[in-house]
Amino acid sequence: MPIHYEDVGDHVVRITIDRPEAKNSLDLYHFRDLANAWRRFNDDTEAWVAIVTGVGRNFMSGADLKTYIPQITALQSQIVDGNVTEIDGCQLRDGTDAVLRSLRIYKPIIAAVNGPCVAGGMEMLGGVDIRVATEHATFGVMEPKRGLFAGGGTTVRLPRQVSFPAAMEFLLTAEAFPAARALELGLLNEIVAEDDLQARAEEWARRITVNAPLAVQATKESVLRGLALDQKAAFKLEAEFAGKIFQTEDAKEGPKAFAEKRPPQWKGR
């Protein structure tokens, strides 16, 4: 199974892309499997945080250009002509769901970047909240170098996540940037030694899972949805989330645990 979904404990799961023979590029079926892994995480009530990574010294390099284009073209033709919604379990939306563009997940996601993160890898990184990388990881929006267009969310998300000049440096040069430059431009949270990557990603995850899951998810949702609104509407949305969270059982447990000087026991309700 080239896409692994693993419970690593403490409400944390790891999604691993395992296709090193193709530098973790994905064909139609692997996009389907990655999309399904994200859907599983979204529906898994026991999973509060996900870590996404790749095997070896590969993270994700986007679509396998040798196979994906003819596969997706054939799929589009069959769906249109045959009046069906999927073929072999594959849907047209799998590609954008796999890179977290069309799938709305408000649980936190951490990227443990252990190699090239380019093209579709950069698209997916834009849908991730915390980014940890090794020194040898590289980052790039490579599509223009191939005469293609980064249509998986990068041209929209990147200018909202780093400074405008930094975003345009990535987007217009279509160059691969070393991890040190990506950190300097604000794309990453930190760079760690290769041997420490997975442990460090899990540390980040557990820094999040000590908090109330509903409050964390509402916070992320308020941020992401608020970015698409004017300030007045965003404040209104924020107030709605606050009203809902203050009515939860966890909102009672948190202050009670604080007063009793003990760790809170979150119920997620």
Give Cβ neighbours of residue 176 (< 8 Å, ≥ 6 apart).
116, 118, 138, 139, 140, 142
Looking at the DSSP bridge assignments, the partners of residue 109 are 50
Active site residue 143: yes
Catalytic status, residue 238:
no
In the beta sheet, which residues pair with residue 49? 12
Beta-carbon count within 10 A of 261 CB = 6
H-type alpha helices, the chain = 28-43, 68-82, 94-98, 120-125, 154-161, 164-173, 179-184, 197-209, 213-226, 231-245, 249-259
Cα distance from N-terminal residue to C-terminal residue, the chain: 34
Tell me how far apart the alpha carbons of residues 34 and 117 are, in angstroms, rounded to a whole number: 16
Given 21, 46, 135, 143, the catalytic residue: 143
Catalytic, out of 21, 86, 123, 194: 123
Q: Which residues are catalytic?
A: 123, 143
